[in-house]
Amino acid sequence: MAEHPDPPVKLDRAEVAAERLATALRSLPMFRGLSTQDRERVARVAVLRDYERGEYLWRAGDPADHLTLIVRGQVKIVRHTESGDVILEIFGVGEPVGAIAVYNNIPYPASAACMEPTTLVRIPSADYFELLERNPDFARAIIRELTRLTVALTRKLSEMRGQRVEIRIARLFLTLAERMGRTTAEGIEIPLQLSRQEIAEMVGTTVESAIRLMSRWGREGVLITGEKRFVVPSLAALEQIAEGRDEET
């Protein structure tokens, strides 16, 4: 907490912080529909905070007393089990994290950690509820987000099903490509830093299996691991693998 030692030129600092916050709030789609009055109200109670890669936002079981929104970076939701971790979701810029727990006033059911340097806006849940009361659009946004999550979870659940590891990882990268892929000269680029360990935790397998597959794909040119990103030269090839039968050509 001792990260703000009283600065000698306090006003300047505060002004800079306020400006940064205002910019952040303006960038969040969730606050687009707000009246300027409401937005000012939010600005007074919201807090901007930076996190490093690997830092935890919270652990499973912590009380959910703040709504959290991502301004910059990526956050993963992790469930710890006796036999290893499971990554349930990855959230990106503009998305709310752990909104369900906040909304229902229950402890967080899973932990959340940053996958890269990340900036978050945090709003005390009391203010959040007040906002909800007054702004139906805002409520809609939350519900929509919640639904998206549920649908993603059910899809993931049905995809997890048995199936070979190769197919599960192929599907993983297909959905990643769809959600955050950029088209480049080399193919689809997925700007996401994922260790083999994390890939394993996302599809429910071991590091070794993930490594074996990824290095084989690297040799075959199906999926190339780069600096803080992945590249898929041919979506079609990946889809072939995800379908079940390998490409024989």
Binding partner at 100 among DNA, its own copies, none, C-beta below 5 to 8 Å by kind? its own copies
Residue 138 or 217 with smaller CB distance to DNA: 217
Binding partner at 82 among DNA, its own copies, none, C-beta below 5 to 8 Å by kind? its own copies
Binding site for DNA (CB under 7 A): 83, 162-166, 195-197, 205-209, 211-212, 214-216, 218, 225
Query: Is residue 67 within 8 Å of residue 122, measured between CB atoms?
Result: yes
In the complex, minimum distance from the CB of residue 115 to its own copies, in angstroms, rounded to a whole number: 19
Q: For residue 143, give the 3-state DSSP assignment.
A: helix
Number of residues that bind its own copies (CB under 8 A): 34
Residue 126 in the binding site for its own copies (CB under 8 A): no
Binding partner at 32 among its own copies, DNA, none, C-beta below 5 to 8 Å by kind? none
Amino acid at 14: A
Token pair, residue 222, equals 């199906």
Q: How far apart are CA 163 and CA 232, in angstroms?
A: 22
Residue 132 in the binding site for its own copies (CB under 8 A): no
To the nearest 10°, report the CA torsion of 197, 202, 204, 210. -40
> Which residue in 4, 161, 219, 245 binds its own copies (CB under 8 A)?
161
Q: For residue 18, give the 3-state DSSP assignment.
A: helix
Sign of the CA dihedral with 239 first, then 211, 91, and 23 last? negative
In the complex, minimum distance from the CB of residue 167 to DNA, in angstroms, rounded to a whole number: 7
Q: Summarize the chain as % helix, strand, coil (round to 5).
A: 50, 20, 30
- Give all strands of the β-sheet with 118-124 in edge-to-edge order: 47-51, 118-124, 66-72, 96-97
DSSP 56: E
Binding partner at 79 among its own copies, DNA, none, C-beta below 5 to 8 Å by kind? its own copies
Please tell me the total number of residues recorded for the chain in this structure: 249
Query: Which residues are CB-neighbours of 74 under 8 A, at least 6 positions away?
Result: 90, 91, 92, 114, 115, 116, 118, 192
In the complex, minimum distance from the CB of residue 216 to DNA, in angstroms, rounded to a whole number: 7
Binding partner at 197 among its own copies, DNA, none, C-beta below 5 to 8 Å by kind? DNA
Residue 20 or 179 with smaller CB distance to its own copies: 179
In the complex, minimum distance from the CB of residue 149 to DNA, in angstroms, rounded to a whole number: 26
Residue 160 in the binding site for its own copies (CB under 8 A): yes
Residue 54 or 107 with smaller CB distance to its own copies: 107
Token pair, residue 15, equals 């002004």
Binding footprint of its own copies on the chain (CB under 8 A): 79, 81-84, 86, 88, 100, 103-104, 106, 109-110, 143-144, 146-147, 149-151, 153-163, 204-205, 244
